[in-house]
Amino acid sequence: MKRIAIFASGNGSNFQSIVDHIKAGKLEAEVGLVVCDRIGAKVIERAKKEQLETFVFDPKEYESKKHFEGEILERLHKNHIDLIVLAGYMRLIGPTLLQSFEGKIINIHPSLLPSFPGKNAMEQALTAGVRITGVTIHYVDEGMDTGPIIAQKAVEVEQGETIESLAQKIHDVEHVFYPSVIQKLLKSSN
């Protein structure tokens, strides 16, 4: 069974969706580690409820990104992680992790990349007045949302759409799409 690490910084709704898909037998994987860079984030509570090993850290307590990523790397190796899944992890991945897990780190982003990278992608889409946005799953590289695209799914932006209504539509897509793409990636890497 392939082992994944889920990195998250906030609420953890994509984390929960992945775990729920595993429990339902729709995603053949084990969560070997949950990494969170925000003390008090809701994802920590969710991970503890699922009795999953967590590593929660405050980046300010480390001398540099290299130092906290070094500690993360030790834990990833100790837990025999095959794939890192970013699920709302709001930090760029540095060379320490990129070199050790090259081609084995994926991210989900709430737009059709390369449009609207970075933070506030849904707000950017609404401001730009696009009729179609969506969800992108991509490999992680040193840039912000610049890695090779694995899969995309379009989401229609309706007249009078609010950030709340668009966010709900995007989350509804993410919560099914991400686990299915993870499953395909894990199957193809056997």
Please name the helix (run of DSSP H) or strand (run of DSSP E) that holds residue 125, with its range, or none.
Answer: helix 121-128
Q: Could you say which of 21, 67, 77, 109 is catalytic? A: 109
> What is the per-residue pLDDT for 105?
98
| Each residue's pLDDT tens digit, 121-158 | 999 999 999 999 999 999 999 999 999 999 999 999 99
**pTM score:** 0.96
| Each residue's pLDDT tens digit, 164-179 | 999 999 999 999 999 9
- Strand pairing class (105-109; 83-86): parallel
> What is the per-residue pLDDT for 25?
97
Domain that holds residue 170: 3-188
Annotation marks residue 109 as catalytic? yes
| Each residue's pLDDT tens digit, 100-122 | 999 999 999 999 999 999 999 99
How many structural domains comprise the chain? 1
The enclosing domain of 146 has a CATH number of 3.40.50.170
Which residue bears the tokens 């992608």?
121
